[in-house]
Chains A and B, each alone.
Chain A
């Protein structure tokens, strides 16, 4: 066994789309310990709630992250609605589910492209991102935006999706399914890909539970938890929802869980479209949250459970708004997954956690 050496990994690294620093303690080529550090892109967005009223802050919330934009605006709106005791129309709940699941599809396909790039399969990366563009086209047609949509408001949504657009979404998703199955095969059946993922970065079921891991990272270690199974909002209308699980706990299992979740999300969208109720898309919300009133909420973002907290102070501004994002919760699990791995596998393991540093630091 060689002498212990500390290798700095990031914040600028080809495999990292966002700045994350790791101090890797290595002995020969084996990582003994990994110590994460963040704080390079902290923007103080939670603090902005003191100078933006609760309706304006929704546009700040969706700018926390470019990939989870819709999820953050939905999570924030739901939390304020809980705080003020507002019930939104059923159609608005279902429209939120459709856009949120479309966000999950584009986020997972984006991630699969990045993973392909990380293990050196550049053409697969290109195929993934080309497929993702078709989902972004749906966003552009239904909301007017490709990254930031601004369709959620406290009390519902600001835009409806008409029958013609719903039929178009179904048609595009059917087409995506065919192309996506080929990409999925490459990830799950290709030998060179499996060589990089099978048995790498193992996290046991017990460790996943004790580290309070969330999202596909936890579900790949057979943690049976997904916020959608609680049936919040429009998810309560789903006939049957079961989280996608795997028992292997390695990088391959994480790829597999995310790959299958894309198909699951497409099924959810189709089910929602089939039973979309008619009616209003928003209710009028007046007044301010009461002084000292508190509300907490959970949303299943593409990367896992996201926790929202709001406290009122009797004015249009909230006293406090808090988003605990899935990556913050998974940093402890990431250090566990990295312990004992080969130095060459670090980038693969870090990517399979799908870290979102913009969300984490806000």
Chain B
């Protein structure tokens, strides 16, 4: 015979029937414990029979929920039911020996449910670090899977660099703006026309400047070009500003 343990979910409504069933089949009550969880307090009732340790879990008991006592079947549970009440604030009805919150002489009410903000932040940080570490550990496997896929699919080009996105044609724009408020459509079109006009003016200005520089002393022209490039680097262009 070896120790076997199992965890079984349980509803509060099923608890009295479970206790009666365990008593009838000759199981031994081992313990009751509480776990402070996000959704409330989890209660775990443990019974043992023939070397099997069965843990019945009630999830998320809220502060307003009243849990029935099992001391009518297992008197030994009175210690644990008083403990769960005093340390976790769980309400339990009809305990055979009920100390009414005075089983533990405590300075703090429900001390086991208190989680400080620092503790909560530390836990959250630890969870994120663990998730990042797990993601990092998954990367080699993902790369290996991709390499395997590429070996079987020679036509696939996952590493091909993407070119600049070509601006959509006006037909495409009309199709995209179909059904939009006409006033808004007019504003968008006016903005696009102004942008196109400014671009053509800039291009014309650049052509005129090149023409002037061609007629100048080459050494002076090089200095002017360097000065203009430096200015362009210092001041982002108007289009870039708009983009921001």
Contact = CB atoms under 8 A, between A and B. Distances in A.
B79 A332 contact: yes
A322 B99 contact: no
Contacts of B26: 209
A47 B76 contact: no
B234 to A, nearest CB: 50
B149 interface: no
Interface string B45-87: 0100001010100000000000000000011101110010010
Contacts of B30: 212, 305, 307, 324, 329
Nearest to B130: A314
Contact of A35 (B3, B97, B106, B119): B97
A9 interface: no
Q: Is the interface of A mostly helix, strand, loop or mixed?
A: mixed
Interface in A193-232: 209-213, 225, 227, 229-232
Contacts of A39: 86, 102-106
Given A37-B103, A320-B36, A328-B80, A231 B112 contact: no
Contacts of A35: 97
A231 B104 contact: no
A220 to B, nearest CB: 17
A236 B2 contact: yes
A37 B99 contact: yes
A225 to B, nearest CB: 8
A47 B126 contact: no
A46 B112 contact: yes
A211 B2 contact: no
Interface stretch (A102-110, A166-174, A184-192, A293-301): A293-301
Contacts of A264: none
Q: Interface of chain B, helix or strand or loop or mixed?
A: mixed
Interface in A319-352: 319-320, 322, 324, 328-329, 331-333, 335
Interface string A219-252: 0000001010111100010000000000000000
Contact of B75 (A47, A305, A320, A332): A332
A313 B130 CA distance: 10
- Size class of A's contact patch? 35 or more
B85 to A, nearest CB: 12
Contacts of A141: none
Given A51-B119, A298-B3, A331-B79, A315 B112 contact: no
A329 B29 CA distance: 9
Contacts of B10: none
Contacts of A211: 75-76
Contact of B112 (A37, A47, A305): A47
A55 interface: no
A40 interface: yes
Given A295-B5, A315-B130, A322 B33 contact: yes
Interface of B: 1-3, 5, 7, 26, 28-31, 33, 35-36, 44, 46, 51, 53, 55, 74-76, 78-80, 83, 86, 97, 99, 102-106, 111-112, 115, 119, 123, 126-127, 130
21 contacts: A39-B102, A39-B105, A42-B105, A44-B111, A50-B115, A213-B76, A227-B3, A229-B1, A230-B1, A231-B1, A232-B2, A296-B46, A296-B55, A298-B53, A305-B30, A307-B46, A309-B55, A313-B127, A315-B126, A329-B31, A332-B78
Q: 7 tightest A-B contacts by CB?
A: A39-B104, A324-B31, A315-B126, A39-B105, A332-B76, A212-B76, A212-B29
Interface of A: 35, 37-40, 42, 44, 46-47, 50-51, 82, 209-213, 225, 227, 229-232, 236, 288, 291, 294-298, 305, 307, 309, 311, 313-317, 319-320, 322, 324, 328-329, 331-333, 335, 361
